[in-house]
């Protein structure tokens, strides 16, 4: 029983780490996209004016 519980805990940790990595990757892409948009807007607005 203890071995099974340890295995389940390990699997749960793996799932949570994978999920957090995926979440971080998705959000990192969104953050980079929004930051690059802000930079582009700041770069282009003075030129437009």
Return the pLDDT at 44.
Answer: 77
pLDDT tens-place string over residues 1-49 = 788 888 888 888 898 999 999 999 999 999 999 999 999 888 877 766 5
pTM: 0.47
CA 49, CA 45: separation in Å to the nearest integer? Answer: 6
Written as six digits, the tokens of 27 are: 């959000």
Alpha helices in the chain (DSSP H): 2-48
């Amino acid at each position: 029983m203890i071995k099974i519980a340890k295995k389940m805990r390990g699997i749960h940790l793996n799932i949570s780490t994978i999920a957090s990595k995926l979440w971080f990757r998705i959000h990192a892409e969104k953050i980079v996209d929004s930051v690059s948009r802000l930079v582009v807007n700041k770069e282009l607005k003075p030129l437009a004016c």
